[in-house]
Amino acid sequence: MKEQLKLAEVKDCGRIQSFLTKAGISSEGVAESIHHFVIMEDENDELLATVGFEKDGEYGLLRSLVVSPSLMRSDILLLFKSIVQLAKKNDVHQLYLVTNKASSVQFFSMMNFQQISYENLPDGLKYHSYLRNLSSLEQVYVMTYQD
């Protein structure tokens, strides 16, 4: 299988939203942030992975990470490297993520994210669409990217 990584375009919005919905992930806010998304496709233009970020000034909140089970670890690393590069190109100086899955913390740690407290998340990011969809902040893990 030959994977291709590319920046998302407006024409990709509908299929990214469908891909996220199929995975049980909220697609709210994707259209507004479409230029902050990276997608991975196979040779038939089928989505294999997506990740994006919502920007607030110099901060970015990673969101909408969905990865096909068929992808190799090296593909996932490439996806992360590309979203970090895209964030930097968009003047994001610090990238954060929030997850409600304890099992994800170790995975994200391998991608150079370090756990921090929710209180250390910049105020502007606390009101983005992804966080509004979390049912409870009690079981939330906040992480920040470390170069």
Q: pLDDT tens track of the chain, all 147 residues? A: 688 999 999 999 999 999 999 999 889 889 999 999 999 999 999 999 999 999 999 999 999 999 999 899 899 999 999 999 999 999 999 999 988 888 889 989 999 999 999 889 898 888 775 666 565 566 789 999 998
What pLDDT score does 130 carry? 61
- Structural domain count, the chain: 1
Instruction: State the residue for tokens 């291709």.
Output: 4
Whether 64 and 52 have beta carbons less than 8 Å apart is answered as yes
Q: So what's the pLDDT on residue 138?
A: 66
Provide the residue range defining the domain that includes 25.
4-145
Please report the pLDDT score of residue 14 as a whole number. Answer: 97
H helix runs in 94-139, sequence order = 102-110, 129-132
CB neighbours of residue 140 within 10 Å? 14
The answer to whether the beta carbons of residues 36 and 55 sit under 8 Å apart is: yes
pLDDT of residue 102: 86
Q: What is the CATH number of the domain that holds 90?
A: 3.40.630.30
Q: How many whole angstroms from its chain centre is CA 55?
A: 12
